[in-house]
């Protein structure tokens, strides 16, 4: 593969990675990278190059996020499957801690089900039983997605390269075993200071959050980076994503899982 646009060392992959890193460093969104890379394989090569960079900078990988689990969003981008990105430890927002203004470029909030693993998932093809046995517990989550690409002008290649448009995430603090909740039927409400903004159910996430997690488990084995014990998996949005602004306070409630809250600091005068 050396020399092709899917090679992590190719000039096109390097240029796309540098463009996204520049946006991260400057806090100014950049142009899309689809002029440099066009395929999903090439976009994942960019993501891998950025992951290697961040690990070299001392960041710690703690799991994966799944994106594009909504059929409507898939139709918009002309794809038929989800995508994934890395989760790093410094992306986790502790309960009660405010998100500084500008910490995420062009932030949006969505409510999700998070799974935390207690066993590795290393089979070529996993069953639901494999996944249930490997899962320690579930938690409610709010993911703060963001885009280094200006005006969210993204195609599939742009969002994959940009670590699946990742930003930050917050987890609830009451672990719930899978046997205590029906993740397919659980209802979700996302509010901003009491104003209802987004609703949905587990079925909105590829029909079932476990279906999304199964897709990820098999995909990561094929990629040579299987999910491991201790990993957190954000399984995908349960309802429409909503824009976030300085001073906003979001609370998500998911039936059977409880609630989780995030707050954005106000901009300094």
Cα gap 244→252, rounded to integer Å? 14
Cα separation, 137 vs 259, whole angstroms = 15
Side-chain half-sphere CA neighbours of 124 within 13 A: 0
Q: Show the domains of the chain with their CATH numbers.
A: 60-264 (3.90.850.10)
Rounded CA-CA distance 53/59 in Å is: 9
Confidence check: pLDDT of 242 > 80: yes
Q: What is the structure's pLDDT at 222?
A: 96
Measured from the Cβ of residue 223, the count of other Cβ atoms closer than 10 Å reads 11
**Residue 18 reports pLDDT greater than 50:** yes
Please compute the mean of the pLDDT values over residues 60-79 and round it to a whole number: 86
Q: Do the beta carbons of residue 224 and residue 257 sit within 8 Å? A: no
pLDDT value at residue 2: 42
- b/e 145-155 (16+ beta carbons within 10 angstroms → b): bbbbbeebebb
Q: Residue 3 above 60 pLDDT?
A: no
Q: Which residues contact 190 (CB under 8 A, 6 or more apart)?
A: 109, 110, 111, 142, 196, 197, 198, 199, 239, 242, 250, 251, 252
With beta carbons less than 8 A apart as the criterion, state whether 149 and 161 touch.
Answer: no
For residue 100, give the H/E element and its range: none
Per-residue pLDDT at 4: 63
- Banded pLDDT at 188 (limits 50, 70, 90): very high
Q: What is the dihedral of CA 143, 227, 55, 36, to 10 degrees?
A: -70
pLDDT at position 210: 98
Note the pLDDT of residue 269.
57
């Amino acid at each position: 593969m050396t020399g092709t646009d899917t090679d992590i060392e190719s000039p096109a992959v390097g240029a796309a990675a540098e463009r996204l890193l520049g946006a991260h460093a400057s806090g100014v969104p950049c142009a899309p990278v689809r002029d440099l890379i066009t395929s999903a394989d090439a976009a994942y090569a960019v993501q891998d190059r950025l992951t290697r960079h961040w690990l070299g900078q001392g960041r710690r990988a703690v799991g994966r996020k799944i994106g594009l689990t909504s059929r409507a969003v898939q139709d918009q981008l002309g794809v038929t499957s989800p995508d994934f990105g890395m989760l790093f430890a410094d992306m986790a927002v502790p309960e009660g801690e405010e998100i500084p203004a500008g910490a995420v470029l062009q932030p949006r909030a969505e409510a999700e089900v998070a799974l935390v693993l207690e066993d590795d998932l290393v089979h070529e093809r996993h069953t639901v039983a494999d996944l249930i046995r490997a899962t320690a517990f579930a938690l409610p989550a709010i993911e703060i997605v963001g885009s280094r690409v200006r005006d969210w002008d993204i195609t599939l290649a742009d969002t994959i390269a940009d670590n699946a448009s990742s930003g930050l995430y917050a987890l609830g603090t009451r672990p719930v075993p899978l046997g205590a909740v029906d993740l397919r039927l659980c209802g979700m409400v996302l509010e901003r200071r009491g104003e209802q903004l987004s609703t949905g159910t587990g079925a909105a996430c590829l029909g079932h959050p476990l279906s999304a997690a199964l897709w990820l488990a098999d995909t990561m084995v094929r990629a040579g980076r299987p999910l491991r014990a201790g990993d957190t998996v954000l399984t995908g949005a349960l309802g429409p994503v909503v824009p976030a602004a300085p001073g906003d306070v979001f609370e998500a409630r998911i039936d059977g899982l409880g609630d989780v809250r995030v707050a954005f600091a106000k901009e300094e005068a």
